[in-house]
Structure formats: structure tokens, C-alpha cells
Structure 1
């Protein structure tokens, strides 16, 4: 059985990185670029552990783990600019974007992401998905990030749909916890997807 929409769902909420966007290779590439500048070998496991958190939290983790002499804010600036520069390499997670296309105009849809607003907008534009969503809630729009439910609850509020009738599509443990805490239907897309099977030169 593939990825499906719950029969009682009245609105759909999509995580971005790893759910709509097969962005892991680009994230690894750009964190490796940061590592080259500051003298550390980036461990991709950090991404799997922290998926859903804002980039600033990744930067703080890296500074602690690799004893980097730099501010988190400066690491974020370098990482984000590098990511935006390589956004043309992003590809969609087709099994998920097919749902977006199918239900566009039929159910309200939003993006709930731990990425910054600019990163979210850059990715959606690169993937050709900007016009499909009624709203975007980014790391810039809430104080408490995943695994707290605030991101998804704000999506529901802006769509005008009660949380119990919203379905969240996620690939991260933190986001899944957030959606469950919000009382929403949750679909873990990971069993249905193969990621990053493409090369970056």
C-alpha cells in the first residue's frame, strides 16, 4: 500500500526537507563545504538525528561536537547561502508531490518546516511547488520548534481546520512526534521512499 490520504482528513500538512524535497544530498554537500572551511568532517548522522530543527540548532551542535571557533550565526549564514546556491540540484520526492498535485484545489494544504522561510521558499520554487500551498510555516514563524507541535498547530489555524482533521506527512522522528502531540493523522513516508540515489559532482 502506498502513501494515501486519510478518509477523514480535511487538510494536509507537509514537511519539506526529506518529505517534499529530496534535499539530503544537497544538505550533506553544503555542510561538507562548511567543514572544509572550519576543519572538520561533517557526520551525516547529525542530519538524521536533528531533522526538523532550525539550522541554528545544527550549527550549535557542530560547534560543540567539533570544537569550532565561530558563532552559530556565521555558520548558519555560510550553510544557508551555500544551500541556496545549489538549490537547482534539488529533486522532488515524487510519491509525495503526486499527492500534492492530486489534492490541489480539493483540500487546503500547507508546509510545516524547520527550515527558514527563505530556504523554504527557495526549495519550493526550485521544485515548482510554490503555487500549491495555502500557507508556509517556517522556523521563523514559531518559537517552539519540532518536536513541539506549534509548527503544525499554526498550519491548522491558518487553514481554518481543526487539528484532529489534519494529516501530516513527515520523514523525521521529531516531526512525527510533533504531529502526534498535535493530535493529527500522521503518515511516516520513509517506508515508501528511497532517498538521494543521485550523484553530486
Structure 2
């Protein structure tokens, strides 16, 4: 197995959270499935993976488009997040990526850029033992334009005081990879190194 590595040119590191640092994706998927089933929607793993990294409200909007539904994005989004929070004890750390954070903590600026919401993101970091290693967290609450727009990662770079082209982003989803490339950053797809989502 090839080792996940920091690019020698990187002066700042940005990590996605769900599916990159924390193996939350199966938990998110089950939460979505449970809630959407109530509304007669059979949510597929393929669709879920295509929207990896997209905040919950925008995901419900997309589900409405694809499935021809008329769900209230805020209400159903809140239901899904509540279901997810009930299941958070099932979250597992993704050790190869967490090891990088610990190895470079104090050596390079590090930020987390996530499509999740602030409170649950900090709770996730606590569960996986990284709360004390992360000072900068940019969440869906902090941006106007979520991934695949580059705003999340550009804000991370700004807060770290590092130029975008000197940042290396670690991601597990295509929307996040697009966001990193649009920001002019080095982008590393962690799923090239191991399978984080088994659906």
C-alpha cells in the first residue's frame, strides 16, 4: 500500500473531515437512508458518493431535483443531522490521515475545511481525538458557497496565512477535489490510498 505523503512544496495543510479524517460516511449514509425512507425515497450509495462533501441543505435540494420530490431542505436537513448525531458513537478515525495531522502538528499550519456544520464538526474531531490538534475549522456555517466552490479552502488558506498555491488539500469526495483545484491548491484524493467507504 502506497503511503500518504505531504508534498515537499506544501506550506499549509487542509483536511476535509467526513470521509477523510473521520470515517463518518457510512454513518451519514445510514442517517440519510433512514430519514429519506420516511418520505418514500430509496437513497442510493452512488448518489450519496456523488454528493460527498456537499452540505445537508444543498444535498436535500439536489435530492428534490433528482427524485422529483418536494422536501423542505431545512426541515429534512435538520431531521437528518439529528439522526446522525444519535449515531455519532459509531464514527471511527481514519488512522493514516490522522497520523499526518499529528506528525505535522506544530510544523506546518493545519486547517479543516468541511461541508458539515460547526458544532457537529468539533464533536467529530473530539470523538476521533483531534480536537487539540486543530485550531482552524471552516464549516458550512462560515461560507456563502459550499464545495465544489473553492470558498471553504480559500478561507482556510487565508486563516492559516498561506498562499492558496502553497496549500495541500486532502479530500475523499469529487466536490472537494474540484474545490481544491479551483482554489489553485495541490489536491490529494485519500481514497487512492485506501477504501474509506464500503457500501
| TM value normalised by structure 1 | 0.92
Specify whether residues 144 and 69 from structure 1 end up closer, same or farther in structure 2 by C-alpha distance, changes over 3 A only.
closer
Distance (Å, rounded) in 2 between the aligned partners of 1:138 and 1:157: 14
How far apart are the structure 2 equivalents of 1:7 and 1:97?
Answer: 19
d(CA) in 1 for partners of 2:118 and 2:71? 24
Change (3 A) 1:195 1:159: same
Find the aligned partners of 2:34 and 2:178 in 1 and give their Cα distance.
31
Q: Which runs of 5+ in 1 are unaligned?
A: none
- Cα deviation digits, residues 74-131 of structure 1 (max 9, x gap): 1011100111111110001111111011111111100001111122122112111111
Q: How does 1:171-190 map to 2 (within 5 A)?
A: 171-190=172-191
The aligned residue for residue 3 of structure 1 is 4
Contact 1:134 1:159 in 2 (8 A): no
**Aligned equivalents of 1:159 and 1:192: distance in 2?**
26
User: Over the residues paired in the alignment, what is the CA RMSD in angstroms?
Assistant: 1.6
- Count residues in correspondence: 198
Aligned to 1:111: 112
Alpha-carbon contact 2:20-2:172 (below 8 Å) kept: yes
Contact 1:108-1:133 at 8 Å conserved across structures: no
For residues 130 and 110 of structure 1, the distance between their equivalents in structure 2, rounded to whole angstroms, comes to 12
Match of 2:92 in 1: 91
- Deviation, 1:6, is 0.8
Conserved 8 A contact 2:138-2:152: yes
| Unpaired stretches in structure 2, ≥5 consecutive residues | none
- Cα distance in 2 between the residues matched to 1:27 and 1:130: 20
Give, in angstroms, the shift of residue 165 of structure 1: 1.2
Residue number in structure 1 paired with 2:161: 160
Post-superposition shift, 1:171? 1.1
- How much does 1:12 deviate? 0.5
Q: Separation in 2 of the partners of 1:56 and 1:156?
A: 25
- TM-score when scaled to structure 2? 0.93
On the 8 A contact 1:108/1:134 being kept in 2, the answer is: no
Aligned to 1:36: 37
Runs of 4+ in 1 over 6 A off after TM superposition: none
The answer to whether the 8 Å contact 1:34/1:79 transfers is yes
| Offset of residue 46 of structure 1 | 1.7
**In the aligned structure 2, how far is the partner of 1:108 from the partner of 1:88?**
29
